[in-house]
Amino acid sequence: MSVNGIRPHTGQVSTPARRPIDIAAVQEHTRQLLVLLGEDPDREGLRDTPRRVAAWWGEFLEYDPGQVATVFGHEVRGEQYVIVRDLSAWSLCEHHLLPFRVRAAIAVIPDGQVMGLSKFGRIVQKYAHQLQLQERLTAQVAAAVAEISASGDVGVWMTGEHLCMSMRGVQAEDARTDTVCLLGRLRTDQALTDRLHTAVHAGRTR
Domains of the chain: 23-61 (no CATH), 71-201 (3.30.1130.10)
Per-residue pLDDT of the chain (206 residues; tens, 9 = 90+): 444 334 444 445 666 777 889 999 999 999 999 999 999 999 999 999 999 999 999 999 999 998 888 888 877 666 788 999 999 999 999 999 999 999 999 999 998 888 999 999 999 999 999 999 999 999 999 999 999 999 999 999 999 999 988 887 777 778 899 999 999 999 999 999 999 999 998 866 55
**Residue 90 parent element (H or E):** strand 82-93
Sequence-ordered list of residues with C-beta below 8 angstroms from that of 17, at least 6 positions apart, any chain: none
Amino acid at 155: G
* SS3 assignment, position 177: strand
DSSP category for residue 37: T
Cα–Cα distance, 130 to 136 (Å, whole number): 11
Q: What DSSP state is assigned to residue 96?
A: T
pTM over 0.75: yes
